[in-house]
Amino acid sequence: MTKENAYFSEMHASDGEPRSPYIGYDAWFAKQNNERFAKKSQEAKAFFRRTGITFNVYGQQDAEERLIPFDLVPRIIAAREWTKLSKGIEQRIRGLNAFLHDIYNRQEILRAGVVPVELIAQNDAFLPQMMDFCPPGNIYTHIVGTDIVRTGENDFFVLEDNARTPSGVSYMLENRETMLQMFPELFSTIPVQPVSDYPKNLRRSLEASAPPGCKGRPCVAILTPGIHNSAYYEHSFLADQMGVELVEGHDLRVVDGHIAMRTTKGYKTIDVLYRRVDDEYLDPLTFNPSSMLGVPGIMDVYRAGNITIANAPGTGVADDKAVYSYIPEIIKFYTGEPAILKNVQTFRCSEPQSLQYVLDNLADLVVKEVHGSGGYGMLVGPAASKQELSDFADKLRARPGNYIAQPTLALSTVPIFTDSGLAPRHVDLRPFALVSPNGVNITSGGLTRVALTEGSLVVNSSQGGGTKDTWVLED
């Protein structure tokens, strides 16, 4: 058995036969030829370029807009598998919302000693300005992206929670649109659940989260940092798909105790602002005074109950990778239930015993910054040189509380199309959930990210990864 074959293949069983979700696709693929697929790959790339599906990479000299590589072989998930994932994601989101409400109000979980006080008190993502305040409907995390990995047929783990400003949903939607364009015949023979209703559901969910004083249909807008943001394409795409205004900070001002946007007919009140601007830049009067991206005074309007901000300021505490290690206890504390979806074993480097273990086993672990994202600031031990390991050990000793470490997981594989045919590559999954006072709505699909380099476990687009369409089958 080769090393690659030692990983769980989602498409093929150990005898080479297709697993149940892939039977229909495998029969179809067997009738195709490489030339047609290669041509379709080029067509898909042209489709992405024509549509403008791009992202920016920060901190690089050649930080021009890039196309995210798209692979034509879908990732297919059985209905029963999705049911388990959905239940686990919903439970997790409810736990996170309860946790956020608690730490900004009564802080019962801290008094009970379930989560250490210093983990919150010393957390940069914790906002004292949110204390003793409840957002409309008590919803903190209106849009959540939960990163999930798979290691076996029934083994799913949550890798991290994205509760601040999760990105990637536009790629989920465009990946499906591309597959429909390239292979329409597949969708007439294989019962795949749709994802195209996400923008409609997003708008409904945001409208349902409007402040109590809102009269008539709520006015929704998306706040973007502007065209130079790496996810600007997504901001523009979602505004267009939802039929709402895309605004920047300079388009908004406080008018009669509300946030209003400039229009050709004067200023119009906004009831729900889907912000894609980080907390620090949201309000220069409250946070970073040099910010040109936010709206002066928006936090006062928010605390007065005259606007909903999605996601709520301060939700970054739930993204924190040190807090992540307590999520099973958090879920148990608020729901009384064990976590349906498991966490990855996590070593908190802030704890001396864990730090020593991490330093002793650095070559076998993945180390991440507690506030990091996008694959930046992390170390993949098995892929690191001796010098990289030594340099990172110095970082750990200097700021141990800034890092957590996890074992290297044997991520499942899904084939990608190469010049020589199908070849296995490692994947993860980011399903998207919408939360409102009406409940939790999880889109039947998600963003599958794939490590295009053979043997690589790093799937982030900023680190050279690509994406796939994710199919959830009907029952």
Q: What is the mean pLDDT of residues 58-76?
A: 73
Q: What percent of the chain is predicted at pLDDT more than 90?
A: 79
pLDDT of residue 319: 86
Reply yes or no on whether the pLDDT at 51 is more than 50: yes
Domain residue limits, the chain = 4-344+409-472, 345-408
Reply yes or no on whether the pLDDT at 57 is more than 70: no
Q: What is the mean pLDDT of residues 332-353?
A: 95
For the segment 138-165, what is each residue's pLDDT rounded down to a tens digit? 999 999 999 999 999 999 999 999 999 8
- State the chain's mean pLDDT as an integer: 92
Reply yes or no on whether the pLDDT at 396 is more than 80: yes
Top-confidence residue, 438 or 453: 438
- Rank 276-290, 367-381, 457-471 by mean pLDDT and report only the highest: 276-290
For the segment 300-329, what is each residue's pLDDT rounded down to a tens digit? 999 999 999 999 999 999 988 889 999 999
The one-letter code for the residue type at 16 is: G
For the segment 414-437, what is each residue's pLDDT rounded down to a tens digit? 999 998 889 999 999 999 999 999
The one-letter code for the residue type at 373 is: S
pLDDT of residue 455: 82
- Fold assignment, 345-408: Dna Ligase; domain 1 (3.30.1490)
pLDDT of residue 54: 60
pLDDT of residue 370: 84
- Per-residue pLDDT band at 48 (split at 50, 70, 90): confident
For the segment 223-270, what is each residue's pLDDT rounded down to a tens digit? 999 998 888 989 999 999 999 999 999 999 999 999 999 999 999 999
pLDDT of residue 69: 87
pLDDT of residue 53: 67
Q: What is the mean pLDDT of residues 132-137?
A: 95
Top-confidence residue, 308 or 382: 308
- Per-residue pLDDT band at 2 (split at 50, 70, 90): very low
pLDDT of residue 52: 67
Reply yes or no on whether the pLDDT at 3 is more than 80: no
